[in-house]
């Protein structure tokens, strides 16, 4: 399938994706078992290309969303490759990583790809690309409270730093205004010293949360702040909730 499309030609890949979407839209009867048609690598490639080639300005969103939703509706779930001892191989680039990188620049729309976690639903396996970006990082920068919670409950380190940028999960959650996840990370032992405080000032300007943050950095204030929570963005003050 990959060889049939010239992915260097924008018109060709867009035509291919929309033709595939038309096929999916006209699908009748029982949904196919994708594992009987494609290798897992092919499905992984298709999902990755769907995310990579999506352009908020020029590409048809329905083509992309229908493809991902079709994969989900067929019941396809990703399974990790394992080593000779049966342990999952964590170094791998998936569609989730591509969505995370798009989220860095266009978080307004990228939440649409968060349901990729219905395909990549092994939260005891945190796939990492060469830069140190992980599935857990994407969950923390997106509206994926339940996913982030699952990762943490299964032993994920709340202070796992993205090596390329030095960003902690807490920093990413603050940067992308994910108030619920900020609270979740703090209650899970997130290290405040790993977060650059200018993110709070930029994303929640004039908020009482700024003062709370500075107080929180004092060791004696941490227990009181932890009890209060940051269960949602309202804990950052009325100005933050209004944004």
When the pLDDT of each residue in the chain is averaged and rounded to a whole number, the result is 77
Percent of the chain with pLDDT over 70: 66
C-alpha closest to that of 216 among 202, 230, 226: 226
pLDDT at 226: 46
According to the model, what pLDDT value does residue 154 have? 97
CA-to-CA separations, 47 to 22, 50, 71, 99, in angstroms, rounded: 17, 5, 9, 10
Q: Per-residue pLDDT tens for 201-233? A: 555 555 555 555 555 544 433 444 444 444 444
Is residue 187's pLDDT more than 80?
A: yes
Classified as helix, coil or strand, 93 is coil
Bigger pLDDT: 241 vs 5: 5
pLDDT band at 77 (very low <50, low <70, confident <90, very high): very high
Q: What is the mean pLDDT of residues 99-123?
A: 78
The encoded tokens of residue 188 equal: 């899970």
pTM greater than the 0.85 cutoff: no
Number of DSSP helices (H) and strands (E) in the chain, helices first: 13, 0
| Residue 128 contacts residue 90 (beta carbons within 8 Å) | yes
Q: What is the pLDDT of residue 90?
A: 97
| Interatomic CA distance for residues 73 and 79, integer angstroms | 16
Per-residue b or e along 12-47, where b marks 16 or more CB atoms closer than 10 Å to that residue's CB: ebbebbbebbeebeeeeeeeeebeeebeeeebbebb
For the chain, domain boundaries: 1-76
């Amino acid at each position: 399938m990959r060889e049939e499309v010239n992915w260097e030609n924008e018109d060709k890949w867009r035509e291919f994706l929309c033709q595939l979407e038309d096929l999916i839209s006209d699908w009748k009867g029982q949904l196919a078992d994708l594992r009987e048609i494609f290798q897992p690598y092919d499905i992984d490639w298709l999902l990755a290309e769907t995310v990579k080639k999506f352009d908020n300005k020029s590409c048809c969103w329905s083509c992309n969303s229908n493809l991902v939703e079709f994969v989900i509706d067929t019941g396809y779930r990703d399974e990790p490759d394992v080593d000779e001892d049966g342990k999952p191989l964590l170094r791998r680039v998936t569609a989730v990583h591509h969505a995370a990188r798009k989220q860095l620049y266009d978080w307004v729309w990228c939440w649409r790809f968060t349901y990729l976690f219905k395909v990549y639903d092994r939260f005891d396996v945190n796939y990492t690309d060469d830069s140190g970006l992980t599935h857990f990082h994407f969950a923390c920068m997106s509206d994926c409270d339940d996913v982030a919670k699952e990762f943490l409950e299964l032993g994920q380190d709340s202070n796992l730093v993205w090596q390329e940028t030095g960003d902690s999960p807490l920093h990413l959650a603050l940067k992308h205004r994910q108030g619920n996840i900020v609270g979740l990370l703090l209650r899970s032992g997130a290290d405040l010293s790993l977060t650059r405080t200018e993110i709070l000032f930029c994303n929640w300007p004039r908020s009482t949360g700024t003062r709370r943050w500075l107080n929180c950095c004092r060791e004696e204030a941490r227990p009181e702040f932890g009890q209060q929570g940051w269960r949602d963005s309202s804990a950052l003050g009325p100005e933050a909730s209004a944004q």
